[in-house]
A and B are shown apart, each in its own frame.
Chain A
């Protein structure tokens, strides 16, 4: 059974710092991995999607990497801003006909002004 773990559960960093969020998964037979952002009381917004054949994806100050063989992904946020404060969720999608997506519990990020 696929399990997704995110470490740390919570993180506080001063504004302007670069930071890394971690995600690990137990079954490497995935189709893709996504990073989502969730603001308090809101739904999820997709940030980056990495296909299993890809190593990384970039969008603005965000860079996500994928090492499928080791079951790991990282989300790198450059020059953090207070507006980056949110919960970041990692999710993996199984291959073949499996349309199920498994989420991690998230990392709650707080950027200190």
Chain B
């Protein structure tokens, strides 16, 4: 049972490049989330999904896109990378939504730098 896995661990992009951050969970969780964490700050929700085929915007969705074609995978796409997207990105999953006693399980993060 690997939990939540994220790839890559590190990436450097040039301004205007595109990339996809991968996230996979093997716990059969319905809910999945993408957060970004800037230095010295808390986590901010980018997008989330309550199940396969369903996604919704979080607090800071601009510049990102997501898809959820399977229960296990929730990739995050950056289309035109900007320096403001330099951050650490965390994927998380939970069986139920946040209004329950269910906790979220986090991946190890992807550290992205845009130059």
Contact = CB atoms under 8 A, between A and B. Distances in A.
Contacts of B104: 44, 46, 101
Interface in B35-88: 40-45, 48, 50, 56, 58-59
Q: Which of A31, A93, A99 has the most CB of B within 10 A?
A: A99
Contact of B106 (A31, A44, A97, A102): A44
A99 B97 contact: yes
Contacts of A103: 42-44
A99 B109 contact: no
**Chain A: interface secondary structure?**
strand
Contact of A31 (B31, B50, B98): B98
Given A34-B103, A51-B101, A95-B99, A100 B109 contact: no
Contact of A32 (B42, B43, B101): B101
Interface in A40-57: 41-46, 49, 51
B42 A106 contact: yes
A93 B99 contact: yes
Interface in A54-98: 89, 91, 93-98
